[in-house]
Amino acid sequence: MQSLGSLLLNHATAADLYPVAPPSVLERLERYRADPPRVRPQRAPDNQRGDLHSYFAPGDAAATAVAVAAAVRILRAGRPGGRRWPPPAPCTLHPANVVALGGAISPVLEAAVRCSRENLLMPVARLRHRTAVHSTRPPAGQDARARMLPTALWPEWALRLSPRHPSGRPAARRADELLSVACLLAGNTAPIQAATRLMGTTVTSHNVSTLLADVTRRSECADVLHVLILLADHLDAHGSPIDYARRRTLFTARPRFLDPRVWRELQRRLRSNSGADAMHAQRWIFHGLTGSPPHLAHPDIASATVEQRRHYQRFSWRILPAEAELLHHTAQGVLDEHGIDEPVQWSPKLPARVLRGLVLPGPDPDSIHAAQLHQAVPGGDFSIAQLARRLKTTSAHVAYLLARDPVDWSPPRFQRTQHTATRVRQWRTWYEQDRQALQAIADQERTSLATIRLALLRDGTQLRPPGSYPGRPRRR
């Protein structure tokens, strides 16, 4: 009460206090505030502060009554630490300079003062002081969070939080990297430049500040900062199953992840032309393992030019299911080589209730199910823009969905090969570990014995002699 009353006497305007007291009382208050308090003898006149009304108990009954009544009105309004602090709100305080004016200031009142400054703060300060959420608090060191964050924000969250032009083009280059740095800054005292180094990115402090300023100006991005803070809180509370910092250290300098001959052989069986470059496959594995964009990979595989980056983006959403399975299996093998017991990829999930009603620039990634996507994709070549119109969403959303749930859009002849390439690992397990016969596998898969036999031979499986059974000698 004392702290809040002091802040009101010193900072609130007459218009702020109009609902609190009758005009005659407010007029008397203004006369009192216009007359500076008498300086106590122990204070030198040259040290007199302009906010002495915050340091001395009011010498006027009207001032005391208004200060107490307004303080009670605010404290009883409920959730003073929320996004909207009921008026009156102090007008000249900055969250970083909140001090105990007129007595010890409680955490709830401190949160209220922080939130009351939100519209006047720089975007970076709004992230640091967490004014976009109800649990604002002073920033602290949170550098350990960098180990839980990919260099480029998880694709589903980048889709949802990245601002775009009306044409659908991204409003900022490398927005996924900038958003990841911003997530590290939430509630954090680290300078922006230090945050970019921790994240292993090459974006500048100016790039980060510019994106955040653009986000706060756009009406469709009203709650982007809110979600970034929620993601940071989720990581701080629950951690991440992936140590991205370790992966960046291990794999950024690695020049190759996949034998190009294996990729070319798969391409020969799946496509009528080998249009998907093996280099893109190397980039896909690097991207999936580290969460870093391919232009940060080893120079031997990095996408150095704008054209290469565009081609890689096209590759990532035109990938076929069998290709995705091969790349995922290879990435898992790389982790196994280093004794890393982690999933290849991961993304945090926030409860739907905390996201309900928030205004974000991108669509909900899960608003379209995999079955809807697969049904909408035509056989053969297709346009992603036409597919987006068919699904009534954005091209960026469709590209994300195709990368997450690859669709077999190849011609019928190659679809059969595609199915074989997808299932051959399971067939090999049944044959080698479960000791099933080729004919039993063919019957189970509703295909021919020749198809099963040829697929296993191409996969390098050593076939048993005809007529041999586990535990039974071969007939002579």
Q: Over its length of 476 residues, how does the chain's per-residue pLDDT go in tens digits?
A: 777 787 778 777 778 788 888 989 999 988 888 876 655 544 444 444 444 555 567 888 988 999 898 888 877 765 444 434 444 444 445 555 554 444 456 666 666 666 666 666 788 988 988 888 866 677 888 899 999 999 999 999 999 999 998 888 888 999 999 999 999 999 999 999 999 999 999 999 999 999 999 999 999 999 999 999 999 999 999 999 999 999 999 999 999 999 988 888 777 777 655 555 789 999 999 999 999 999 999 999 998 788 888 899 989 998 888 889 889 999 999 999 999 999 999 999 999 999 999 999 999 999 999 889 988 887 667 788 889 999 999 999 999 999 999 987 765 555 556 566 667 788 888 998 888 988 888 888 877 787 787 778 767 788 887 666 555 444 44
SS3 330: helix
How many residues in the chain? 476
Q: Which residues contact 133 (CB under 8 A, 6 or more apart)?
A: 83, 226, 229, 230, 233
Q: Work out the angle at residue 440's Cα, subtended by the Cα atoms of residues 439 and 444, and round it to the nearest 5 degrees.
A: 115
Map 351-412 to HEC letters.
Answer: CHHHHCCCCCCCCCHHHCCHHHHHHHCCCCCCCHHHHHHHHCCCHHHHHHHHHHCCCCCCCH
Peptide bond into 87 cis (omega under 30): no
The pLDDT value given to residue 377: 85
Q: Is residue 214 within a helix (H) or strand (E), and if so which, with residue range?
A: helix 205-217
Q: What is the CA radius of gyration of the chain?
A: 31
Residue 101 has a pLDDT of 44
Do residues 117 and 91 make contact, with C-beta atoms less than 8 angstroms apart?
no
Angle between helices 278-290 and 244-251 (to 10 degrees): 150
Predicted pLDDT at 321: 85
For 274-288, the DSSP string reads --S-HHHHHHHHHHH
| Strand partners for 140 | 188
Q: Are 398 and 388 in contact (CB under 8 A)?
A: yes
Contact 242, 342 (CB under 8 A): yes
Burial of 252 (0-12, 13-18, 19+ CB in 10 A): middle
CA distance 233 to 148: 12
